[in-house]
Amino acid sequence: MKLESNRSTTPARLIQTLQACRTVYFCGLSKNAGKTVALRQAMCEARQADIRTAVTSIGRDGEAFDAIYSEFAKPLVCFEPGDLVVTSEGLLLGSDACDIVRRFGIASPVGPIAAARVTSPCTIEVAGPSTVNGLRMVQSWVMANGVDLFLVDGALDRKAASLPDVCDGIVVSSGAAVSDCLEDVLLQTRSAIDMLRIPSDDTADSEPRVMFSPVFDSEEALRGAFAASVGYALTVEVQGAVTEKLVDFLMHEGLFARCRIVADCFAKVFINRKRWADYRRRGLNIAYRRGIRVLSLTVNPVSPSGPGFEPVSFLESMRRTIPEIPVFDVCATHYGAAGKA
């Protein structure tokens, strides 16, 4: 796999941030945040680097127009000969630009999921497996059939498909579609990146800790565990989802300062991005048993429902807000020019 890498300088292009990843999950903080544009750019740059790619989506992407903003043109997903696409067979009917090479026996509203090898330039709507097991099945086959890089068009509200044992890394997209207020976009993006990049749990097993399941264990049992460890901090290993209800309970009981939460991974955290920022300011201490790599962030200054933002200043504002990872506007005039845009 001839993946470009330049660790000594700021990456100039999106493909450089993917490094040695084999499965990359693209997600947007809202509809029309630019994730499909980012994926399409990664496809283009992968071809230029002779990286063999396969593409799928856990939703439906590549349609000509937005389902809500019907006059807003959507980015088409363009394929070249040799590309592999995993999509619903119903979206391939009548196409002479690709050959079906594998049927997976996975059902979807527009036909069973199939893999097709592209034989001539074309655009294809992509609607792949919508379950984690389905995505794992596709991933296993793709990686055994000559693919270097598997790109998954996803969404943050379908967290399960971005589990660390499914994807090697995540590319996040944010933009004017998140909010018409710049400060709100920056806040929500900062919170989302922070939530994704929480460190892994590497503390000693000898520290006081308790297992807690929001489904099977009562708040009274958790209150009792803290009462039994008077004077000590307590690590709460959550089996299941970490919710605002759990965090609010810990705050209400005055246990927040003594508590360290360990969740399985980011996909198990269900907290609104604005509330997350508030919790962190108040001292939320949380770690993951399994972390995920955030590879880069792409930004889209255009919104279908508002005026959007001035592109250069928006990109600069986001880079100041998220300095720890590469930030790109892949549609900018100077994108790829020594990392300037």
> What phi, psi does 243 have (nearest 5°)?
-120, 170
pLDDT for the residue numbered 162: 60
Q: Which domains does the chain possess?
A: 14-198+293-328 (3.40.50), 209-288 (no CATH)
Q: For the residues 212-227, what does the mean pLDDT come to?
A: 90
What is the value of pTM for the model shown? 0.87
274 pLDDT above the threshold of 60: yes
Residues constituting the chain: 341
More confidently predicted of 229 and 54? 54
> pLDDT digits over 46-74, tens only?
999 999 999 999 876 544 444 444 454 55
SS3 content of the chain, % helix, strand, coil (to 5): 30, 25, 50
Report the percent of the chain where pLDDT is more than 70: 87
DSSP string across 246-258: HHHHHHHTT-GGG
pLDDT for the residue numbered 64: 43
* Centroid of chain to Cα 87: 19
Give the count of beta carbons closer than 10 Å to the beta carbon of residue 332.
16
Contacts of residue 200, Cβ cutoff 8 Å, sequence gap at least 6 = 287, 288, 289, 290, 291
pLDDT for the residue numbered 293: 92
> pLDDT digits over 156-180, tens only?
666 655 678 788 999 999 999 999 9
87 pLDDT above the threshold of 50: yes
> In 3-state terms, what secondary structure has residue 101?
strand
> pLDDT digits over 100-125, tens only?
999 999 988 888 999 999 999 999 99
More confidently predicted of 51 and 229? 51
338 pLDDT above the threshold of 60: no
Report the percent of the chain where pLDDT is more than 90: 61
Task: Label residue 41 by pLDDT band (50, 70, 90).
Answer: very high
